[in-house]
């Protein structure tokens, strides 16, 4: 009770401070401070700590989500060098992802082909609570989906749509051995168990709107995902989750907001109660209930898209049912723990004992204790229930409150040496505090308004420590100006000593919401250099130049084309008419590292192809006017790359030009 009172006392103070912090000129009000920060940086050996000699490799891979670009960007740490962009939920004209015939299906959903999404949270696959460098799971926030990226190829291998969900923000959080990857809905929506459309009056929020948490099973060997079951939850908004570790390994914790269940003007409506909840879900028990047959099946309609490894073709499967658990029928599976209102992140410390809840409107950071939670459950220390889910008492679970951490705490990560680091959005700083006495040890300003932060392995049972990356939401004057739209900025901070040290600013792609960082040695040795041509099972692959050909049936034309330094075969094609549907199936015959070939043709209304050695990719082209159309290789493959070009002749509709094709010398028509 005391804690609640102190919270009530602090709340107005916090609000006032936040209003002050929101004054945009706060930074320039205090030029003295900023200058000292810069000066101290100059004296340190920051430069040598982030300098990676030319030709030398970085110590770590960082996978930063791209937010509204629907991609993942891969950086080297500590240099901050951008290594790759992996397209996931968004078409990527640069390499044909989402445009080529092979990859189109990857973006199929029950809403149709969705070419964009908002990618928020990357999470690496785990073995025994540690990152294992095999896969990266990411979520689509807008059209609910979870994707798996294969870290052997750095390609999106699989995307699964999540039914009964709206705004898949609370996603994707793996358990310690990827037994499940969980996904909670940010928006509650009406869910009808007979599968009828989820339309209802918006005024019926309280009665009809519900939430779901999805449990995706991950195959231990292949990584293949499968939606195993869902739990139907009260109609709150589910924000962030994280799995327990060690003693709490069977549990997953979800932050919720809008427990008021307001349907409109949530800015105010969802901020009425003093407390929202942390939902603690025992996934092991849920799995057991499902095995016992407690899950009910309901009709559903969702897509599951998988990339075939040997043909490089994505295929969609439409799923028709989903099973779900009702918490009221599953005792012991879920408990609600009060937390200061509108929390954001929940992070579990490496020992699995503490659940740190960062309430962006709270003046303190509450730390809940797993052992106290278990005791409270044992003693039935409940404060009533919500829809059959017991609510635990705040004080019976609370371990401590971190006092004066800063303003607007969002997320926390750990260094494995007994310290926690929390991002402070409003006061633009990182606060380091101790898990031993829950007091603040150090703070460092960041530029500006940090959202997520990441420590390599900082969400696993044994953090790598050493570095922290702050992902900042506001950039302003940190780089040369580039008009109204600026790159977001990340900052690398050295956390190896007692005091945090700022090492480096680096611009990021779109808006990172979270990141994962992993030692390079767990990923680099497995990186695929090229695909073996003999393993290519693409039905339209052309494995030898001698097999290159053009086949026309009616107005559908298949061009079986090969690319090898420095020519394509065939490079002269005739017999195509306006309005024909032409498929260029281009096989890259190279069998060496880093020799991709590109393919582009004038007037194509989609994109280009970028074909890796040994792979086949297909571009669809419907010529709209007669003429001669050049095509060429777009990737500078060799000294005679510029000569790697050819022509397609397009005749008017109805004109019977015989199909002919050749490279070098003319071949007879088929």
- Judged by CB under 8 A, the stretch of 133-141, 302-310, 365-373, 515-523 that binds another protein is 515-523
Burial of 320 (0-12, 13-18, 19+ CB in 10 A): exposed
What 217-220 contacts at long range (C-beta under 8 Å, 24+ apart), as own/partner pairs, is 217/179, 217/180, 218/125, 218/148, 218/174, 218/178, 218/179, 218/180, 218/181, 220/177, 220/178
- Judged by CB under 8 A, the stretch of 238-246, 328-336, 513-521, 617-625 that binds another protein is 513-521
Residue 28 backbone phi and psi in degrees, to 5: -80, -15
Q: CA 409 → CA 200, 448, 643, distances in Å? A: 36, 14, 58
Q: Which of 5, 32, 43, 55 binds another protein (CB under 8 A)?
A: 55
Each residue 268-307 as x (binds another protein by CB under 8 A) or -, in order, gives ----------------------------------------
Q: Between residues 79 and 475, which has the closer beta carbon with respect to another protein?
A: 79
Say whether residue 49 binds another protein (CB under 8 A). Answer: no
Q: How far is residue 380's CA from residue 331's CA, in Å, rounded to a whole number?
A: 12
Q: How far is residue 62's CA from residue 468's CA, in Å, rounded to a whole number?
A: 11
- Min separation Cβ 566 and another protein, Å: 8
- Min separation Cβ 79 and another protein, Å: 12
- Judged by CB under 8 A, the stretch of 50-58, 247-255, 418-426, 622-630 that binds another protein is 50-58
Cis peptide bond upstream of 78, omega within 30: yes
Q: How far is residue 163's CA from residue 541's CA, in Å, rounded to a whole number?
A: 36
From the list 415, 409, 397, 396, the residue with the least C-alpha distance to 365 is 409
- Min separation Cβ 462 and another protein, Å: 8
Q: Which of 118, 287, 590, 635 binds another protein (CB under 8 A)?
A: 590
- Min separation Cβ 588 and another protein, Å: 12
Measured on CA atoms in the order 174, 175, 179, 185, is the torsion positive or negative? negative
**Beta-strand pair 108-109/81-87:** unpaired
- Min separation Cβ 523 and another protein, Å: 10
Say whether residue 153 binds another protein (CB under 8 A). Answer: no
Q: Which of 19, 93, 628, 640 binds another protein (CB under 8 A)?
A: 640
Say whether residue 524 binds another protein (CB under 8 A). Answer: yes
End-to-end Cα, the chain, rounded Å: 87
Say whether residue 128 binds another protein (CB under 8 A). Answer: no
Cis peptide bond upstream of 448, omega within 30: yes
Q: How far is residue 582's CA from residue 155's CA, in Å, rounded to a whole number?
A: 27
Say whether residue 498 binds another protein (CB under 8 A). Answer: no
Q: What is the arrangement of strands in the sheet containing 334-340, beginning at the earlier edge strand?
A: 237-243, 251-257, 275-282, 334-340, 389-392, 382-386
- Judged by CB under 8 A, the stretch of 80-88, 151-159, 521-529, 646-654 that binds another protein is 521-529
DSSP state of 4: H
Q: Between residues 61 and 425, which has the closer beta carbon with respect to another protein?
A: 61
Say whether residue 525 binds another protein (CB under 8 A). Answer: yes
Q: Between residues 39 and 639, which has the closer beta carbon with respect to another protein?
A: 639
Each residue 162-181 as x (binds another protein by CB under 8 A) or -, in order, gives --------------------
With b meaning 16 or more CB within 10 Å and e meaning fewer, what string describes 82-97?
beebbbbbbbbeebbb
Q: Between residues 297 and 643, which has the closer beta carbon with respect to another protein?
A: 643
From the list 523, 520, 493, 517, the residue with the least C-alpha distance to 505 is 493
Among positions 354-413, residues that touch another protein (CB under 8 A) are none
**Residue 640, C-beta contacts closer than 8 angstroms, at least 6 positions apart:** 565, 566
Q: Between residues 127 and 482, which has the closer beta carbon with respect to another protein?
A: 127
Q: How far is residue 470's CA from residue 197's CA, in Å, rounded to a whole number?
A: 42
- Judged by CB under 8 A, the stretch of 143-151, 336-344, 384-392, 590-598 that binds another protein is 590-598
Say whether residue 592 binds another protein (CB under 8 A). Answer: yes
- SS3 (DSSP) at 433: strand
Q: Between residues 213 and 644, which has the closer beta carbon with respect to another protein?
A: 644
Q: Between residues 60 and 286, which has the closer beta carbon with respect to another protein?
A: 60
Vertex 339 angle, CA 5 and 186, to 5°: 145
- Min separation Cβ 456 and another protein, Å: 10
- Min separation Cβ 530 and another protein, Å: 8
Among positions 527-586, residues that touch another protein (CB under 8 A) are 564-566
- SS3 (DSSP) at 197: coil
Q: Which of 137, 324, 464, 506 binds another protein (CB under 8 A)?
A: 464
Q: Which of 384, 639, 665, 668 binds another protein (CB under 8 A)?
A: 639
- Min separation Cβ 608 and another protein, Å: 23
- Judged by CB under 8 A, the stretch of 308-316, 352-360, 516-524, 649-657 that binds another protein is 516-524
Q: Between residues 13 and 56, which has the closer beta carbon with respect to another protein?
A: 56
Say whether residue 239 binds another protein (CB under 8 A). Answer: no
Q: Between residues 310 and 321, which has the closer beta carbon with respect to another protein?
A: 310
Size of the site for another protein (CB under 8 A): 23
Each residue 57-96 as x (binds another protein by CB under 8 A) or -, in order, gives xxx-------------------------------------
R_g (Cα) of the chain, nearest Å:
27
Q: How far is residue 534's CA from residue 450's CA, in Å, rounded to a whole number?
A: 49
Q: How far is residue 604's CA from residue 597's CA, in Å, rounded to a whole number?
A: 17
Q: Which of 391, 520, 528, 578 binds another protein (CB under 8 A)?
A: 520
Say whether residue 521 binds another protein (CB under 8 A). Answer: yes
- Min separation Cβ 629 and another protein, Å: 25
Say whether residue 628 binds another protein (CB under 8 A). Answer: no
Say whether residue 32 binds another protein (CB under 8 A). Answer: no
- Judged by CB under 8 A, the stretch of 168-176, 191-199, 292-300, 635-643 that binds another protein is 635-643
Q: Between residues 135 and 464, which has the closer beta carbon with respect to another protein?
A: 464
Residue 93 CA to its chain's centroid (Å):
20
- Judged by CB under 8 A, the stretch of 49-57, 342-350, 396-404, 471-479 that binds another protein is 49-57
- Min separation Cβ 418 and another protein, Å: 14
Give yes or no for a contact between 191 and 185, defined as CB atoms under 8 angstroms apart: no
> What DSSP letter does each residue of 136-181 carry, written as one string?
EEEEETTTTEEEEEETTTTEEEEEEE-TT-SS--EEEEE-TTSSEE
- Per-residue H/E/C for 264-317: CCHHHHCCCCCEEEEEEEEHHHHHHHHHCCCCEEEEEEEEEEEECCCCCCEEEE
Give yes or no for a contact between 663 and 571, defined as CB atoms under 8 angstroms apart: yes
Where on the chain is the footprint of another protein (CB under 8 A)? Answer: 53, 55-59, 462, 464, 519-521, 524-525, 564-566, 590-592, 638-640, 643
């Amino acid at each position: 009770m005391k804690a609640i009172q102190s919270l009530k006392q602090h709340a107005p103070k916090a609000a006032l401070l936040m209003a002050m912090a929101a004054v945009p000129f706060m930074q320039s009000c205090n030029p003295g401070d900023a200058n000292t920060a810069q000066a101290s940086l100059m004296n340190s050996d920051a430069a040598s700590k982030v300098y990676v000699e030319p030709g030398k490799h970085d110590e770590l891979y960082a996978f930063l989500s791209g937010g509204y670009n629907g991609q993942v960007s891969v950086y080297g740490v500590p240099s901050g060098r951008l290594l790759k962009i992996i397209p996931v939920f968004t078409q990527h004209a640069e390499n044909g992802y989402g445009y080529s015939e092979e990859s189109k299906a990857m973006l199929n959903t029950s809403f149709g082909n969705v070419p964009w999404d908002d990618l928020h949270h990357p999470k690496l696959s785990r073995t025994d609570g540690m990152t294992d460098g095999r896969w990266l799971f990411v979520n689509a926030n807008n059209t609910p989906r979870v994707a798996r990226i294969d870290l052997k190829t750095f390609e999106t291998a699989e995307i699964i749509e999540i039914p009964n969900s709206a705004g898949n923000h609370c996603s994707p959080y793996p358990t310690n051995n990827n037994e499940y990857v969980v996904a909670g809905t940010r928006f509650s929506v009406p869910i009808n168990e007979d599968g009828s459309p989820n339309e209802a009056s918006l005024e019926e929020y309280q009665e009809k709107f519900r939430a779901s948490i999805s449990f995706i099973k991950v195959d231990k060997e292949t990584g293949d995902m499968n939606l195993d079951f869902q739990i139907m939850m009260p109609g709150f908004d589910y924000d962030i989750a994280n799995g327990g570790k060690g003693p709490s390994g069977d549990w997953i914790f979800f932050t919720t907001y809008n427990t008021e269940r307001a349907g409109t003007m949530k800015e105010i409506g969802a901020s009425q109660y003093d407390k929202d909840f942390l939902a603690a879900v025992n996934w092991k028990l849920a799995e057991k209930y499902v095995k016992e047959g407690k899950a009910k099946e309901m009709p559903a309609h969702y897509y599951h898209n998988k990339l075939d490894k040997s043909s490089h073709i994505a295929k969609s499967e439409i799923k028709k049912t989903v099973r779900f658990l009702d918490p009221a029928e599953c005792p012991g599976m879920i408990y609600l723990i009060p937390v200061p209102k509108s929390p954001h992140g929940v992070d579990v410390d490496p020992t699995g004992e503490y659940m740190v809840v960062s309430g962006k409107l709270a003046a303190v950071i509450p730390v809940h204790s797993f052992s106290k939670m278990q005791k409270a459950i044992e003693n039935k220390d409940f404060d009533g229930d919500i829809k059959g889910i017991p609510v635990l008492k705040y004080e019976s679970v609370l371990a401590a409150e971190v006092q004066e951490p800063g303003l607007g705490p969002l997320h926390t990560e750990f260094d494995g040496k007994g310290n926690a680091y929390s991002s402070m959005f409003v006061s633009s700083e990182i606060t380091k505090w101790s898990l031993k006495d829950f007091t603040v040890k150090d703070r460092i300003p960041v530029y500006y308004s940090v959202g997520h932060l990441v420590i390599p392995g900082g969400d696993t049972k044994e953090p790598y420590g050493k570095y922290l990356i702050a992902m900042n939401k506001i950039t302003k004057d940190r780089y040369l100006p580039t008009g109204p739209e600026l790159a977001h900025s990340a900052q690398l901070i050295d956390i190896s000593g007692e005091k945090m040290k700022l090492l480096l600013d680096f611009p990021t792609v779109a808006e990172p919401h979270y990141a994962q960082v992993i030692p390079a040695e767990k990923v680099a040795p497995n990186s695929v250099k090229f695909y073996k041509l003999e393993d290519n099972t693409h039905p339209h692959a052309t494995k030898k130049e001698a097999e290159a050909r053009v086949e026309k049936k009616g107005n559908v034309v298949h061009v079986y084309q090969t690319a090898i330094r420095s020519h394509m075969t065939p490079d002269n094609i005739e017999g195509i008419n306006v309005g024909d549907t032409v498929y260029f199936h281009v096989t890259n015959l190279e069998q060496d590292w880093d020799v991709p070939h590109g393919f582009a043709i004038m007037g194509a209304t989609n994109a280009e192809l970028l074909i890796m050695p040994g792979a086949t990719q297909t571009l669809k082209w419907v010529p709209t006017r007669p003429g001669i159309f050049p095509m060429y290789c777009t990737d500078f493959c060799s000294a005679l790359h510029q000569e790697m070009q050819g022509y397609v002749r397009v005749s008017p509709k109805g004109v019977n030009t015989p199909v002919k094709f050749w490279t070098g010398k003319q071949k007879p028509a088929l």
